[in-house]
Structure 1
Amino acid sequence: MSKEFEIAREFEVDATPEQVWDAFTAGTGGWLWPMEEPEPREGGKGPFGSTITVWDPPHRYTNRVEDVEGISEQTLNQLDYTIEPRDEGRRAWVRYVHSGIFVDDWDNQYDGASKHTDFYMHTLRQYLTQFTGRRVTAFSTFDGPEASTASDAFAAVGRALGLADDTAEGARVRAQGPEDQVLDAVVDYRNPYFIGLRTDDALIRFFGRNHWGAPVGISVHDFAADADAKRNETAWQGWLNGVFSA
């Protein structure tokens, strides 16, 4: 059964409104994933077949798409970004609203989208405050094998990284990465659903999508000058497959 939803988040961040605007419209690979840049006008084309309904840089941007991916004429997806200056423009207040219509399995879809939103907005703030002025040079994202859909799969990811059950956000760790690498990293996000690692040159995100019936996933946002997306994907995909090969 179709049902409307709305997921809203507000926060302040140590970045200028212009930097936040750029992250929402041009720098998405640094915190979300690379996507088509919006045509800079109302009525223009936006990502994933959307239409831009509000374009007021660097204050407000809204895009809207109906009949998402041909699933149903009843489907609707809208993203609305509002940015206001704080501290004479040195900081910004942000309101993000994701709204629309879910067609099936509403409770599961809403729970997943809401928890993912918290993680994505946190990653945005990490990008803006820790990698200011640096463009992502390599982005990769991929899923684990079928075994990673198990109900306890994400706990295995934490153990494979070498994290103790009580390793909390803010801890500096030496995580066990792919190909016997030891990563000097900060655990910038951790709950039962997601883990975020931040190194000097990358944001590495682990998604416990097994909680919603999908495989565990990883995204790597690499800012190093010599970063290679395919190399990162091959290495981390091998690591992830190895976690669930036993």
Structure 2
Amino acid sequence: MSKEFEIVREFEVDASPEQVWEAVTAGTGGWMWPMEEPEPREGGKGPFGSTVTAWDPPHRYVNRVENVEDIAEQSANQLDYTIEPREGGKRAWVRYVHSGILVEDWDNQYDAADKHTDFYLHTLREYLTRFAGRPVAFATFEDGPEASKSAAAFTAVGRALGLADDTAEGAKVRARGPEGQAFDAVVDYRNPYFIGLRTDTALIRLFGRNHWGYPVGISVHDFAPDADGKANETAWRGWLDGVFSA
């Protein structure tokens, strides 16, 4: 049964309104994923077949699509960003509203979207305060091994990274990545559903989508000068396969 949804978040960030505007409209993979840049006008073409319904740089940007392609559970989707200056423009206040229509499995789909929102917006703030404007190589995959759908899958992922079950946000860790390579990182986000690792040159995001019946996924935002997105995808996919190969 179709039903409307709305997810609202408000936050402040140590970035100018212009920097926030660039991050949410430039189409790079710095904090979410690469996407088509919107036409800079009301009525213009937006990403994923959407239409720009508000365009007022750097204050308001809205895009909406009525027929969502490739997402069977959703028939309409709207993203609405309102950005206001704080402290003379040195900081910004952001109001983000994600709304639309879910057509099936409403409670599960809404819960997933609601929790993903917090993780994505956290990654936006990490990008703005640490990597804004830097070239990025992006890698992602959502189709982890079938075994990663199990109830205990994300616990296994955390342990494979070398994290204790009680390793909390803010902890500095020596993590274990692809091919057993160790790297220094900060756990910048952690709850039962997501793990965020930040290094000097990258944001590594792990998605416990098993909680909603899907495989675990991984994204890497790599800002190193010699970053190779395809190599990162291959390496981390192999790492995740290895976690569930036993």
- TM-score, normalising length from structure 1? 0.97
Q: How far apart, in 2, do the equivalents of 1:161 and 1:27 lie?
A: 30
| CA shift for structure 1 position 77 | 0.6
Change (3 A) 1:75 1:173: same
| CA shift for structure 1 position 165 | 1.1
Q: Secondary structure at the match of 1:88?
A: helix
Unaligned stretches of 5+ in structure 1? none
| CA shift for structure 1 position 225 | 0.6
Check if 1:184 corresponds to 2:179: no
Change (3 A) 1:208 1:180: same
Q: How far apart, in 2, do the equivalents of 1:75 and 1:133 lie?
A: 33
Q: How far apart, in 1, do the equivalents of 2:97 and 2:235 lie?
A: 35
| CA shift for structure 1 position 135 | 2.4
Q: How does 1:87-166 map to 2 (within 5 A)?
A: 87-136=87-136, 138-142=137-141, 143-166=143-166
Q: Secondary structure at the match of 1:29?
A: coil
| CA shift for structure 1 position 102 | 0.2
Q: Please name the residue that 2:12 is paired with.
A: 12
| CA shift for structure 1 position 71 | 6.4
| CA shift for structure 1 position 75 | 1.7
Q: Secondary structure at the match of 2:156?
A: helix
| CA shift for structure 1 position 183 | 1.1
Q: Secondary structure at the match of 1:192?
A: coil
The aligned amino acid for 1:21 is W
Q: How far apart, in 1, do the equivalents of 2:19 and 2:188 lie?
A: 21
Q: Secondary structure at the match of 2:173?
A: strand
Q: Please name the residue that 2:25 is paired with.
A: 25
| CA shift for structure 1 position 223 | 0.2
Q: How far apart, in 1, do the equivalents of 2:53 and 2:27 lie?
A: 20
| Structure 1 range deviating more: 139-148 or 112-121 | 139-148
Aligned residues: 244
What's the CA shift string for 1:204-224, capped at 9, x where partnerless? 000000000000000000000
- TM-score, normalising length from structure 2? 0.97
The alignment's C-alpha RMSD in Å is 1.2
Q: Please name the residue that 2:61 is paired with.
A: 61
Unaligned stretches of 5+ in structure 2? none
* 8 Å contact from structure 1 (residues 178, 235) kept in 2: yes
Percent identical among aligned pairs is 82
Q: How far apart, in 2, do the equivalents of 1:198 and 1:28 lie?
A: 18
Check if 1:213 corresponds to 2:213: yes
Q: Please name the residue that 2:237 is paired with.
A: 237
